[in-house]
């Protein structure tokens, strides 16, 4: 009998095909930490036909918003996001890297005006999608180490 | 009506080569007014705000002089001290307030991206007069004007940029604009202060080749324009190392022996020891003229942005 490592969920979101090793980053994006209130299942380093190895995150009783999807697209553009309702895949949410990353990244330049108390959202133009390269709209600097600057 | 009316001046990259040529031609027409030989009232009744969050006497005075020469008025502050900024007001709020008092805003700010932020909070044109280590487009325009005025063209000119090419913001914008305008670029710097890769990438995108060297002696013969920048002490771990490096990029009569007769030497000023004082008396020295050019170039921009004829 096939062993089920991860059981199906009734309602919520399944993020599959996350590049192996990035599941914890996805949890960070979703704000899942110590004070979690719904069941979260994380599978890391799972065999995958398409990818070799992959990670999976399942969050019960939660559907993701556009900005959360944009953030996931930044670090894991190959991931698939399925909305589960009553044990069935009700919706497949496509991940598309936007041309502008607004309000989802923090500029690494400490002297950038977007890092001080001003009534604006951070904003980066996506200069290249593969490899991912983004440039701050305000200070014009390219952001290195994108993952650790996700808000 | 030109495309300049009411326009922001935030980065030199917002300018096409045709835009730059229009500014340069307009600046040349402004020279008789800038020196007081002719009078102009083209900006009569217009008010320019000069908001200087950090001191920059040369930039501020040349903007105020430019506005006055065209019959307009300027108001503002020359440092953040004693203003509402010290009470914790955001730049966005200051801009919303100043918008009501003036027709255009000149902004100098210690933080990168400040001018772009300001432009988002006002319908009035915003002119970036330097944002931290970021952009200083009007400095680039007056540098370009100086080369064009002295040399008559950009294409085919060998422009050699010397000194701190890593941190010096004027050389980044200038390199970008010169690449757009078809000049040949040579970069001379110590290995630790080379032009950043993203600037080289943008120069390459323009399909232009460039040369990089560490020794000025290797390239001085080919130069038509020598643009000298200051190498700052604080970039070096110890004073001895600084002296050694800075000394090897000093422009003096000896290094100029091999230079072309028509070579011009530029410097954004203030200089410290990068150019020996006896070079001032040679025909090569145009840096004081370059400083004067700030006025006609800023007059041209203000007239194109605010003038009725624009």
CA distance linking residue B310 with residue B299, whole number of Å: 12
Distance from CA of A139 to the nearest CA of B (A): 4
Nearest to B145 by CA among B304, B310, B291: B291
In the prediction, which pLDDT does B287 show?
96
- Residue with more model confidence, A104 or B26: B26
CA distances from A145 to A34, A149, B173 (A): 25, 7, 25
Q: What is the pLDDT of residues A78-103, one digit of tens each?
A: 899 999 999 999 999 888 888 999 99
User: Over 80: is that where the pLDDT of A18 sits?
Assistant: yes
pTM over 0.90: no
Closest CB to B113 among A119, A139, A142:
A139
In the prediction, which pLDDT does B1 show?
42
Query: Taking CB atoms and an 8 Å cutoff, what residues of chain B touch A125?
Result: none
Closest CB to A113 among B111, B133, B198:
B111
Nearest to B171 by CA among B131, B133, B219, B205: B133
CA distance linking residue B19 with residue B178, whole number of Å: 14
Query: Residue B199: closest CA among chain A residues belongs to which residue?
Result: A141
Q: What is the pLDDT of residues B144-156, one digit of tens each?
A: 999 999 999 999 9
**Cβ pair B120:A112 closer than 8 A:** no
In the prediction, which pLDDT does A77 show?
87
Q: pLDDT confidence of B297, banded at 50, 70, 90? A: very high
Burial of residue B212, with CB atoms counted within 10 A of its CB: 0-12 exposed, 13-18 middle, 19 or more buried: middle
Q: What is the pLDDT of residues B96-144, one digit of tens each?
A: 999 999 999 999 999 999 999 999 999 999 999 999 888 899 999 999 9
User: Over 70: is that where the pLDDT of B46 sits?
Assistant: yes
Residue positions of B annotated with a catalytic role: 58-59, 87, 108, 136
Averaged confidence pLDDT in chain A: 91
**Cβ pair B117:A141 closer than 8 A:** no
Q: How much is the ipTM here?
A: 0.87
Query: Taking CB atoms and an 8 Å cutoff, what residues of chain B touch A138?
Result: 112-113, 116-117
User: Over 90: is that where the pLDDT of B283 sits?
Assistant: yes
- Residue with more model confidence, A15 or A131: A15
In the prediction, which pLDDT does B245 show?
82
Query: Residue A112: closest CA among chain B residues belongs to which residue?
Result: B112
- Residue B51: strand, helix, or coil: strand
**Cβ pair A138:B109 closer than 8 A:** no
**Cβ pair A118:B134 closer than 8 A:** no
Nearest to B16 by CA among B28, B31, B4, B1: B4
A28-42, B106-120, B187-201, range with greatest mean pLDDT = B106-120
B132 CB within 8 Å of a chain A CB: yes
- Residue with more model confidence, A31 or B105: B105
Q: pLDDT confidence of B243, banded at 50, 70, 90? A: confident
User: Over 90: is that where the pLDDT of B299 sits?
Assistant: yes
User: Over 60: is that where the pLDDT of A42 sits?
Assistant: yes
CA distance linking residue B128 with residue B14, whole number of Å: 12
Closest CB to A138 among B90, B117, B198:
B117
* Average of per-residue pLDDT across A39-47: 94
**Cβ pair A113:B91 closer than 8 A:** yes
């Amino acid at each position: 009998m096939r062993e089920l490592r991860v059981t199906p969920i009734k309602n919520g979101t399944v993020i599959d095909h996350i590049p192996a090793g990035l599941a914890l980053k996805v949890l960070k994006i979703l704000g899942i930490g110590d004070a979690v209130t719904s069941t979260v299942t994380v599978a890391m380093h799972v065999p995958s036909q398409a990818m070799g190895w992959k990670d999976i995150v399942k969050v019960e009783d939660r559907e993701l918003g556009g900005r959360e999807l944009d953030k996931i697209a930044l670090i894991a553009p190959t991931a698939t996001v399925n909305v589960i309702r009553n044990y069935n895949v009700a919706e497949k949410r496509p991940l598309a890297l936007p041309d502008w990353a607004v309000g989802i990244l923090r500029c690494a330049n400490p002297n950038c005006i977007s890092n001080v108390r001003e009534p604006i959202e951070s904003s980066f133009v996506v200069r290249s999608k593969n490899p991912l390269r983004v440039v701050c709209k305000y200070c014009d600097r390219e952001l290195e180490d994108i993952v650790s600057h996700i808000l | 009506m030109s495309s300049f009316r009411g326009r922001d001046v935030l980065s030199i990259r917002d300018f096409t080569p045709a835009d730059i040529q229009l500014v340069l031609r307009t600046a040349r027409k402004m020279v008789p007014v800038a020196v007081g030989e002719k009078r102009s009232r083209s900006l009569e009744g217009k008010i320019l705000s000069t908001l200087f969050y950090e001191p920059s006497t040369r930039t501020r005075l040349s903007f105020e002089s430019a506005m006055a020469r065209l019959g307009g008025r300027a108001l503002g502050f020359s440092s953040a001290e004693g203003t509402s900024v010290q009470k914790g007001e955001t730049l966005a709020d200051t801009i919303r307030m100043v918008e009501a008092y003036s027709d255009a805003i000149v902004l100098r700010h210690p933080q990168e991206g400040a001018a772009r932020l300001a432009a988002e909070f006002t319908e009035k044109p915003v002119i970036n007069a330097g944002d931290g280590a970021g952009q200083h487009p009007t400095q680039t325009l007056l540098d370009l004007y100086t080369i064009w005025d002295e040399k008559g063209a950009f294409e085919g000119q060998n422009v050699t940029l010397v000194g701190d090419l890593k941190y010096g913001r004027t050389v980044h914008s200038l390199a970008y604009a010169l690449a757009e305008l078809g000049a040949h670029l040579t970069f001379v710097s110590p290995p630790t202060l080379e032009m950043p890769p993203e600037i080289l990438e943008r120069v390459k995108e323009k399909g232009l080749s460039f040369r990089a060297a560490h020794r000025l002696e290797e390239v001085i013969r080919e130069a038509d324009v020598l643009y000298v920048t200051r190498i700052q002490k604080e970039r070096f771990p110890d004073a001895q190392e600084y002296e050694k490096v800075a000394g090897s990029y000093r422009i003096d009569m000896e290094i100029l022996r091999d230079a072309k007769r028509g070579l011009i030497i530029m410097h954004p000023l203030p200089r410290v020891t990068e150019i020996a004082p006896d070079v001032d008396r040679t025909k090569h020295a145009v840096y004081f003229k370059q400083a004067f050019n700030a006025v006609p170039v800023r007059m041209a921009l203000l007239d194109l942005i605010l003038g009725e004829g624009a």
